């Protein structure tokens, strides 16, 4: 059967997963009476809750006697490592662009990788039914982007489709018919995307996606470059540097048929298959015939820019809410995650009960922590810190991100002011239609930690911020962090409404009456810049004397709700976030007040 392998790449929220839904529906993957789900490829609970794609996944459809393997990719820059690997498996890419927003940073990032690999892109202008759509201008912007990324003449001569994935139609022109559904897109893929290149020689496959299965063990997905593979065939696994990892036997060969993976008798060159039976294989490794000596070349992955320390939860409430609490369990889980996610780097920390995890951004690390807490882990994590490096001249360099902010023009002043405080340089300012402006900055990564929430507050929730790794630049000096101190509990127990009510003048609270607290736990934000130790356990002294005036009813201001991402951005270097399956608490690294004072004195002495 004829084969085509194609990836769908786009910025977050431009409609990739919805487009895959429509392709699956119109190619006859579902039976007539079968229940069809929205965003079928987002199978993970977290993906469904947040409405984003985190892991790349493959599906397959048949159209006019040709099998088309479709790979859905994430849109957030934090998960760019997934996309970089996926492009090895495909021969063409559907570049999806929103008809109103135009090409955004992640579009630029992924397209640059795709063009470098020589893929032939098809540009799909999606959401043309939006009231603020400007399809023709967006096509010009896409052409300018391709030209700026050094596309070849052949790549610049890209075909264009217009349509709405949500409504389920595509057309070759804006005025085209909506009757054919997705047929124009299928036909264009068959015409424009070349069949997979097949090399001569024995079986070779480069591992691209890895997952664990309770019955089959580790499953590696990739495209067969040459030869073929059958169940029970003996293979060997080579690392990127050519070292032998293991000799193994393939227990199952699975191919994609619709959304399902089906066992097949033989995988042929050019097809995307999943193999089981190799306990030590991971991504970027080559699975091959025993006669092969050289591994397949794997794309280098961009380096991580942020690091966090994951440590054992040692608070007085440790072990009361989670089932996996030991350092060994946390270590094994993180090492397992690093095997399948090449954009993460996990290493032992100087501290005996801690691991340092480096990744692309706060969102990627936040998703990892959220996944672990749902699995029953208890742990405490430090504030994200930026990974600096030394250049050849011995100067310190830090990662810089390109930040694109779409905002109503009335709020652009406060955005520019806040970004300049964070040592950002504005490179572009242009109107983006509808009374909105698009601001582009080059900003240090450490200055952007925690800015998302502040931006939404400043712009009344109307701003959209997108960021992408740009490069390294000389260190830009100190950036002022949080200006307020915190309120710290002085003892262990349950918080009392009367005590919280009396402390409201000191600042907003982060806890509610009845919550368990302990000495050293952060219970609120101080109105001033210093930390304050408070008693949230003190109840009202009751007497047997009656009064004519009724005691005032305790009416509390609702507390600040701390989500995981918000908590990670809020804490300082001497604080930790305690994460359990049912709670997120903020605490000081050193719980004892005297220990904190000693550490502060030692720090001052070092500075002097």
Residues 152 and 282 in one domain: no
Rounded Cα–Cα distance for residues 120 and 114 (Å): 8
The pLDDT value given to residue 523: 92
The pLDDT value given to residue 80: 61
Residue 65 has pLDDT above 90, yes or no: no
Rounded Cα–Cα distance for residues 380 and 584 (Å): 10
Give the pLDDT band of residue 179 (cuts 50, 70, 90).
confident
397 located within any domain: yes
509: its two tokens? 């609270």
300 located within any domain: no
Q: Higher pLDDT residue, 43 or 159?
A: 159
369 located within any domain: no
Residues above pLDDT 90, as percent of the chain? 12
**pLDDT tens for each residue of 357-384:** 988 778 788 888 988 998 999 999 998 8
Residues 470 and 601 in one domain: no
Write the DSSP assignment of 397-459 as a string of letters: EEEEEEEEEEEEGGGHHHHHHHHHHTT-EEEEEEEEETTEEEEEEEEEHHHHTTHHHHHHHHT
Stretch among 38-42, 157-161, 410-414, 588-592 having the lowest mean pLDDT: 38-42
Mean pLDDT, residues 303-320: 87
Q: Higher pLDDT residue, 597 or 55?
A: 597
Rounded Cα–Cα distance for residues 509 and 496 (Å): 12
Give the pLDDT band of residue 546 (cuts 50, 70, 90).
low
Residues 454 and 589 in one domain: no
The pLDDT value given to residue 552: 58
Residues 424 and 556 in one domain: no
Residues 39 and 186 in one domain: yes
Mean pLDDT, residues 91-99: 88
**Most confident among 103-117, 207-221, 504-518 (mean pLDDT):** 504-518
The CATH number assigned to the domain holding 33 equals 3.40.50.300
User: In this structure, what are the phi and psi dihedrals at residue 253, rounded to the nearest 5 degrees?
Assistant: -115, 120
The pLDDT value given to residue 175: 83
| Dihedral angle over CA of 407, 366, 380, 354, nearest 10 | -120
Mean pLDDT, residues 326-344: 83
321 located within any domain: no
Q: Is 538 marked as a binding-site residue?
A: no
The pLDDT value given to residue 459: 87
Q: Higher pLDDT residue, 247 or 44?
A: 247
Residues above pLDDT 70, as percent of the chain? 90
Q: Which residue has the tokens 């000693």?
A: 598
The pLDDT value given to residue 133: 85
Residues 424 and 499 in one domain: no
Which has the closest alpha carbon to 81: 304, 257, 403? Answer: 304
The CATH number assigned to the domain holding 261 equals 2.40.30.10
Q: Is 589 marked as a binding-site residue?
A: no
- Tell me the sheet residues that pair with 464: 406
Q: Which residue has the tokens 């190619």?
A: 27
Q: Is 309 marked as a binding-site residue?
A: no
The pLDDT value given to residue 201: 87
Residues 8 and 53 in one domain: yes
**pLDDT tens for each residue of 421-477:** 888 999 988 887 677 888 999 999 888 887 877 888 888 888 888 777 788 888 888
Q: Is 193 marked as a binding-site residue?
A: no
The pLDDT value given to residue 181: 84
Sign, Cα dihedral of 226, 227, 228, 233: negative
432 located within any domain: yes
Give the pLDDT band of residue 517 (cuts 50, 70, 90).
very high
Q: Higher pLDDT residue, 18 or 545?
A: 18
**pLDDT tens for each residue of 554-569:** 778 888 888 888 888 8
Rounded Cα–Cα distance for residues 119 and 121 (Å): 6
The pLDDT value given to residue 551: 53
Mean pLDDT, residues 87-105: 85
Residue 405 has pLDDT above 90, yes or no: no
32 located within any domain: yes
Question: Domain boundary at 474, 502, 523, which?
Answer: 474
Write the DSSP assignment of 248-278 as a string of letters: EE--EEEEEEBTEEEE-S-EETT-EEEEE--
**Close Cβ partners of 350 (under 8 Å, ≥ 6 residues apart):** none
Q: Is 462 marked as a binding-site residue?
A: no
Residue 577 has pLDDT above 90, yes or no: yes
The CATH number assigned to the domain holding 439 equals 3.30.70.240
242: its two tokens? 């050519």
278 located within any domain: yes
What pTM does this model have? 0.77
Give the pLDDT band of residue 579 (cuts 50, 70, 90).
very high
**pLDDT tens for each residue of 118-147:** 888 899 999 888 888 888 888 998 999 888
With b for 16 or more beta-carbon neighbours within 10 A and e for fewer, the 540-572 pattern comes to eeeeeeeeeeeeeeeeeeebeebebbbbbbbbe
Question: Domain boundary at 413, 447, 474, which?
Answer: 474
Q: Is 14 marked as a binding-site residue?
A: yes
Residues 139 and 267 in one domain: no
Rounded Cα–Cα distance for residues 355 and 370 (Å): 17
User: In this structure, what are the phi and psi dihedrals at residue 338, rounded to the nearest 5 degrees?
Assistant: -65, -30
Rounded Cα–Cα distance for residues 342 and 302 (Å): 10
Mean pLDDT, residues 394-416: 87
Residues 187 and 211 in one domain: no
Residues 468 and 561 in one domain: no
- As a whole number, the mean pLDDT across the chain is 83
The sheet that has 204-213: what strands, in order across it?
Answer: 244-249, 234-238, 286-288, 204-213, 217-226, 272-276, 252-257, 260-263
Residues 77 and 10 in one domain: yes
**Domain count for the chain:** 4
Helix (H) or strand (E) holding 604: helix 593-607
481 located within any domain: no
Q: Is 332 marked as a binding-site residue?
A: no
Mean pLDDT, residues 324-342: 84
Give the pLDDT band of residue 587 (cuts 50, 70, 90).
very high
Question: Domain boundary at 474, 506, 538, which?
Answer: 474
Residues of the domain holding 264: 204-288
Q: Is 547 marked as a binding-site residue?
A: no
Q: Is 15 marked as a binding-site residue?
A: yes
The pLDDT value given to residue 34: 52
Query: For 439-442, which contacts have Cβ atoms below 8 Å and span 24 or more sequence positions?
Result: 439/404, 439/405, 439/407, 439/412, 439/415, 440/402, 440/403, 440/404, 440/405, 441/402, 441/403, 441/405, 442/400, 442/401, 442/402, 442/403, 442/470, 442/473
Stretch among 187-201, 297-311, 494-508 having the lowest mean pLDDT: 297-311
Give the pLDDT band of residue 522 (cuts 50, 70, 90).
very high
Give the pLDDT band of residue 576 (cuts 50, 70, 90).
very high
Residues 142 and 8 in one domain: yes
The CATH number assigned to the domain holding 556 equals 2.40.50.250
Q: Is 502 marked as a binding-site residue?
A: no
Rounded Cα–Cα distance for residues 186 and 192 (Å): 10
**pLDDT tens for each residue of 6-60:** 988 887 777 777 888 778 777 766 555 455 555 545 555 665 666 666 666 778 8
């Amino acid at each position: 059967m004829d084969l085509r392998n194609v990836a769908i790449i786009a910025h977050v929220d431009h409609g990739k997963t919805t487009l895959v839904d429509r392709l699956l529906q119109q190619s006859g993957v579902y039976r007539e009476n079968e229940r069809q789900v929205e965003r079928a490829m987002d199978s993970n609970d977290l993906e469904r809750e947040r409405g984003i794609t985190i892991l790349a996944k493959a599906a397959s459809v048949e159209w006019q006697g040709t099998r088309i393997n479709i790979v859905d990719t994430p849109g957030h820059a934090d998960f760019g490592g997934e996309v970089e690997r996926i492009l090895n498996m495909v021969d063409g890419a559907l570049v999806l662009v929103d008809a109103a927003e135009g090409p955004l940073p992640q579009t630029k990032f992924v397209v640059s990788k795709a063009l470098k690999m020589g893929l032939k892109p098809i540009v799909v202008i999606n959401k043309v039914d939006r009231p603020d759509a400007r399809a023709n201008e967006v096509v010009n912007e896409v052409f300018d982007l391709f030209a700026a990324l050094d596309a070849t003449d052949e790549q610049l001569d890209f075909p264009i489709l217009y349509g709405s994935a949500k409504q389920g139609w595509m057309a070759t022109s804006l005025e085209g018919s909506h009757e054919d559904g997705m047929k124009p897109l299928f036909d264009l893929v068959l015409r424009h995307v070349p069949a997979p290149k097949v090399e001569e020689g024995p079986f070779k496959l480069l591992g691209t996606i890895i997952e664990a299965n309770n019955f089959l063990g580790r499953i590696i997905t990739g495209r067969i470059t040459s030869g073929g593979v059958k169940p029970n065939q003996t293979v060997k696994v080579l690392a990127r540097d050519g070292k032998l990892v293991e000799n193994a036997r393939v227990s199952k060969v699975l191919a994609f048929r619709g959304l399902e993976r089906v066992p097949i008798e033989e995988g042929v060159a050019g097809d995307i298959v999943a193999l089981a039976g190799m306990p030590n294989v991971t991504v970027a490794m080559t699975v091959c015939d025993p006669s092969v000596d050289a591994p397949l070349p794997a794309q280098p992955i961009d380096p991580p820019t942020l690091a966090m320390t994951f440590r054992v939860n040692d608070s007085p409430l440790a072990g009361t809410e989670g089932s996996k609490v030991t350092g060994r369990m946390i270590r094994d889980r993180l090492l397992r995650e690093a095997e399948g996610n090449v954009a993460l780097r996990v290493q032992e920390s100087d501290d005996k009960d801690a691991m340092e995890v480096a990744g692309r951004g706060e969102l990627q690390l936040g998703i990892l922590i959220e996944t672990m807490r749902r699995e029953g882990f208890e742990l405490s994590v430090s504030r994200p810190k930026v990974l600096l490096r030394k250049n050849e001249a011995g100067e310190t360099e830090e990662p810089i991100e390109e930040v694109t902010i779409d905002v109503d023009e009335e709020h652009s002043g406060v955005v520019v002011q806040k970004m300049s405080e964070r040592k950002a340089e504005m490179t572009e300012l242009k109107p983006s239609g509808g009374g909105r402006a698009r601001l582009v900055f080059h900003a240090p990564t450490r200055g952007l930690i925690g800015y998302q929430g502040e931006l939404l507050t400043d712009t009344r929730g109307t701003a959209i911020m997108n960021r992408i790794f740009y490069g390294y630049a000389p260190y830009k000096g100190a950036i002022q962090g949080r200006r307020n101190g915190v309120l710290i509990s002085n003892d262990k127990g349950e918080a009392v409404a009367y005590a919280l009510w009396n402390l409201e003048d000191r600042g907003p609270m982060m806890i509610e009456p009845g919550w368990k607290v302990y000495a050293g736990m952060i219970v609120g934000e101080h109105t001033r810049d210093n930390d304050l130790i408070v008693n949230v356990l003190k109840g009202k002294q009751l007497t047997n004397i009656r009064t004519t005036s009724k005691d005032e009813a305790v009416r509390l201001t609702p507390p600040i709700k701390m989500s995981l991402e918000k908590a990670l951005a809020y804490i300082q270097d001497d604080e930790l976030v305690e994460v359990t399956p049912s709670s997120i608490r903020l605490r000081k690294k050193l719980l004892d007040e005297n220990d904190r004072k000693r550490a502060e004195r030692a720090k001052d002495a070092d500075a002097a």
